[in-house]
Amino acid sequence: DIQMTQSPSSLSASVGDRVTITCRASQSISNYLNWYQQKPGKAPKLLIYAASSLQSGVPSRFSGSGSGTDFTLTISSLQAEDFATYYCQQSYSTPRTFGQGTKVEIK
């Protein structure tokens, strides 16, 4: 199985801050990497697919980068509605696997 490791596990930030979350795969996954946002009691929502492509309807303050084993999700200017948990996920091979999540909290 491909292990996905996110860091940090949680972070505190203020509205307007630039936030960066990293995800590392245990082996190369090319750009088969997706990012999701999950709010309490809701299903995850796709933000970024293929490492850097913005899903339709997602604000442009979200961006993704990386290839191979190291990936980054960046929120350029954190908004109130962005406080949530973020997950990376590899779609390179089965079983599909997720990172453990990064909880973004209000400072």
Partner 1 sequence: QVQLQESGPGLLKPSETLSLTCTVSGGSITTYFWTWIRQPAGKGLEWIGRIYPSGSTNYNPSLKSRVVMSVDTSKNQFSLKLTSVTAADTAVYYCAREGETAVTLRPFDYWGQGTLVTVSS
d(CA 23, CA 15): 23
Kindly state the smallest distance separating residue 39's Cβ from partner 1, in Å.
12
CB of 26 to partner 1, least distance (A): 16
Name the site residues for partner 1 (rule: CB under 8 A). 1, 31-32, 34, 36, 42-46, 49-50, 53, 55, 87, 89, 91, 94-101
CB closer to partner 1 out of 42 and 107: 42
User: Which is closer to partner 1, CB of 53 or CB of 77?
Assistant: 53
Nearest approach in angstroms of CB 15 to partner 1 is 26
| Pick 17 or 52: Cβ nearer partner 1 | 52
Angle at 72 between CA 82 and CA 44, to 5 degrees: 45
Which CB, 43 or 80, lies closer to partner 1?
43
- Output phi, psi for 81, to 5 deg: -75, -5
Q: For the CB of residue 16, give the shortest distance to partner 1 in the complex, in Å.
A: 28
The SS3 call for residue 98 is strand
User: What DSSP letter does each residue of 19-82 carry, written as one string?
Assistant: EEEEEEESS--TT-EEEEEE-TTS--EEEEETTTEEPTT--TTEEEEEETTEEEEEESS--GGG
